[in-house]
Amino acid sequence: MSNRSLNLDDTLYQYLLDHSLREHPAQLGLREATRSHQAAGMQISPEQGQFMALLVKLLGVQRAIEIGVFTGYSALSVALALPDDGYLLACDISDDYTRIGKPFWRDAGVSHKIDLQLAPALDTLDQRLSAGEAGQYDFAFIDADKVSYDAYYERCLQLLRPGGLIAIDNVLWSGAVAQPSQEPDTQALQALNRKLHSDTRIDLSMLPLGDGLTLARKR
């Protein structure tokens, strides 16, 4: 018995995957295609992708936002969980990264759900707000440049309906957030974590999943 989260060694982590993970063949293929990439560490873990997909289904998400696509595994996980007429606004600035995922999106039959916008995410989000889309989204996932996390959070909070959910990745930052730091990304995450803890606009849970995942439900 334990009253705190377990530390997972390799054996226990593999047990978790063996007894929980259910991947579409396209998800497995995309993970394999990304494995040798020089920035492969940017990809979320498969169990996190499965957890977010479950949240999407539980919430009955129709319209979602992703900020930071990389090679597209998280977008694929969310899109597979959306209904056939669902919509994912996927924001990234790299064609080199995102083009890796596109064949796997097609193989999974979800390309029509994913609206990939290759532009600075803040510009895309501000355009959607100017177009009157505030309150029209159900779910958002933030996993891009850390110094802009607060700005992404504020835009997503406006774009989400009451009861909508924001998932924020890397909030534990390999443990660096728990130590004094002068590094800009770490400081940005520390500041956001402090802000969210006292933000009365949301309900909050920070989970030790992957590199730390915060769930913020808009009240």
As given in the structure block, the two tokens for residue 19 are 């007894």
Residues 65 and 141 sit within 8 Å (Cβ to Cβ): yes
pLDDT score, position 7: 87
180-215 pLDDT, tens digit per residue, is 999 999 999 999 999 999 999 999 999 999 999 999
**Dist. CA 71–CA 99, nearest whole Å:** 7
89-113 pLDDT, tens digit per residue, is 999 999 999 999 999 999 999 999 9
pLDDT score, position 4: 82
Does the structure show a pLDDT above 80 at 59?
A: yes
Closest residue by Cα to residue 128 from 169, 81, 160: 160
Say what percent of the chain tops pLDDT 90: 97
Closest residue by Cα to residue 48 from 215, 204, 164, 217: 215
**Dist. CA 106–CA 121, nearest whole Å:** 23
CA atoms within 13 A on the CB side of 123: 6
Does the structure show a pLDDT above 70 at 2?
A: no
**Dist. CA 81–CA 56, nearest whole Å:** 6
pLDDT score, position 146: 98
**Dist. CA 22–CA 138, nearest whole Å:** 24
Question: Which of the four pLDDT bands, split at 50, 70 and 90, describes residue 54?
Answer: very high
pLDDT score, position 3: 75
Does the structure show a pLDDT above 70 at 1?
A: no
Which strand (E) or helix (H) includes residue 112?
none
Does the structure show a pLDDT above 80 at 34?
A: yes
**Residue, of 193 and 6, whose pLDDT is higher:** 193
Q: What count of residues does the chain have?
A: 219
**Dist. CA 100–CA 35, nearest whole Å:** 12
pLDDT score, position 6: 80
Residues 137 and 163 sit within 8 Å (Cβ to Cβ): no
Q: What's the Cα-to-Cα distance from 49 to each of 11, 34, 178, 196, rounded to whole Å? A: 20, 15, 25, 23
As given in the structure block, the two tokens for residue 155 are 């835009």
